[in-house]
Amino acid sequence: MQEKRAKWSGHLSFVLAAAASAIGLGNLWRFPYLAAQYGGGVFIVVYLVLSLTLGFTLLVTEISIGRKSRQSQITAFTMLGGRKWAWVGFFSTVVPFLILPYYSVIGGWVVKYFVHYFLATLGCASQIADPKVYFESFTSSGLSPVCYMVIFVVFTFSVIMLGVKNGIEKANAVLMPLLFFTAIALSIYILFLPGAMEGVKYYLVPNFSRCDNIGKVFLGAMGQMFFSLSLAMGIMVTYGSYMRKSSSIPRAAVRIAFADTFIAVLSGFMVIPVVHAFATTAGQDPETALKAGPGLLFMSLPEIFGTFGAVGNFLALAFFTLVFFAALTSAISMSEACVAAICDYLKWSRRKAAISFAVFVVFTGVVSALSIKALDFFDSLVNSLIMPLTAIGITVFAGWYYGVDKIVDEMESGGGVFRPKRTFAISLKYFAPLLVVAILVSEICRVLGIGGWNI
Ligand code: PHE
């Protein structure tokens, strides 16, 4: 039997839920290292401009499609555009379907580190002697990463089973303020550490010698923006389908983009000064140290925290709590998009859909947990191909087929006039598809090893 469609209690619940989805691992480690790689301030400025133009355009479009249709992504595109547009919905669903299993594996690693530092703060666990060995022996130990991944999945799906209002909304109301508080407190603490200002300079002052090609800076910022704002994954469509008519879509989108960018920029103030100071003392190049990818979170930072003695355990605990909340709320949003899509499309009950999907995530997650190669493969398949294709589908559907007027009507349906309509139309019809095609081409070149577009 189809259950009655859920609704957020109010405007703030929606903004909080969408921001909770947007703020995740992408903000905490990917943004700082991209900023370091692409000339500090140069990247930050490009990113800010892109998220307030292209990011805003795509956010309002996806939310409007969801609210208009009152459906999650698969059925939303079919309802508004007919069967020929169903592929856009399917593609958007494939993205979280593939991302969530390996995101849960990384979530499991975060739980493991959280537990370790929690015990270490209480004096019940010893210092990690060699973070590299610790990480590698943990991730390759077979059973342990699988167990931690299952714990992370259980956390995620307990919230999903409780529903939109009682689960997601309540979890965000607790986790998001804690996340903001921890992030602000930790950055202030780090900024007062000796030598932190050198890192801040490295982060903020535009340095053109560190970005040889401005095209690459744009592409890097754009790819980051898609991932960070949870675009082209059906999430904003699904969350939009629970939004009340009285909430203003443009106002919500500005707040979501702002909160997401704020945490991303703030993460730079936490991660860069710490890594910079450590690298300089150890005679290493800060850029190489910052480029360590996932290793930055699980190897470099633990190594650095280790040099702070007992305070280090406490700093690490605060940091991994922050990462855990960010990863959990993002995983919840991905699960919701998939579960809602299954319910709307197959007309299953929420319970049946949630349990079946959780089982799927655990089984596919095991593959990623046991093989880092599989994890990398899923990651690049989704980011390089499926996500850009979905984004092209959404912009062409909304800008050229369904129509800018209808999207704007939905935005204005709760009252008020959307003034920048002409700019929005140009952005949705021309600017957005062109930029997304550029991402797709550069990704294909990168995978095939053509040209110097390695991002
Ligand atoms: N936006 C999240 C981040 O910045 C990641 C995410 C990806 C969330 C996909 C939901 C879906 O880390």
One pLDDT digit (tens) per residue for the chain, 455 residues: 456 788 998 899 999 999 999 999 889 878 988 888 888 888 999 999 999 889 999 999 999 999 999 999 999 999 999 999 999 999 999 989 888 998 899 999 999 999 999 999 998 888 888 888 999 899 888 889 999 999 999 999 999 999 888 889 999 999 999 989 988 988 898 888 888 898 899 898 887 777 667 788 888 888 889 889 999 999 999 999 999 999 999 999 999 999 999 999 999 998 888 888 878 877 888 777 777 766 777 887 888 888 877 888 888 998 899 899 999 999 999 999 999 999 999 999 999 999 999 999 999 988 877 776 766 777 777 777 888 899 999 999 999 999 999 999 999 998 788 989 999 999 999 999 999 998 888 888 877 777 655 54
Burial class (CB in 10 A: 0-12, 13-18, 19+), 121: middle
Gap between the terminal Cα atoms of the chain:
47
The tokens 């909770």 sit on which residue?
20
Residue 334 Cβ < 6 Å to ligand 1? yes
Q: What angle do CA 73, 78, 84 make, to 5 degrees?
A: 120
Residue 107 Cβ < 6 Å to ligand 1? no
**Whether the Cβ atoms of residue 56 and residue 261 lie closer than 8 Å to each other:** no
**Whether the Cβ atoms of residue 18 and residue 56 lie closer than 8 Å to each other:** no
Residue to mutate, 228, 262, 325, 329, ligand 1, most ligand atoms under 8 Å from C-beta: 228
Residue 27 Cβ < 6 Å to ligand 1? yes
Expressed in angstroms and rounded, the spacing between residue 274 Cα and the centre of ligand 1 is 24
Residue 99 alpha carbon, nearest atom of ligand 1:
9
Token pair of 227, please?
Answer: 């991932």
Expressed in angstroms and rounded, the spacing between residue 233 Cα and the centre of ligand 1 is 9
Going 42 to 48 to 53 to 59, the CA torsion angle's sign is positive
Residue-level pLDDT at 44 = 92
Expressed in angstroms and rounded, the spacing between residue 194 Cα and the centre of ligand 1 is 33
Expressed in angstroms and rounded, the spacing between residue 191 Cα and the centre of ligand 1 is 27
Expressed in angstroms and rounded, the spacing between residue 310 Cα and the centre of ligand 1 is 32
H helix count then E strand count, the chain: 24, 0
Residue 175 Cβ < 6 Å to ligand 1? no
pTM for the model stands at 0.91
Expressed in angstroms and rounded, the spacing between residue 68 Cα and the centre of ligand 1 is 24
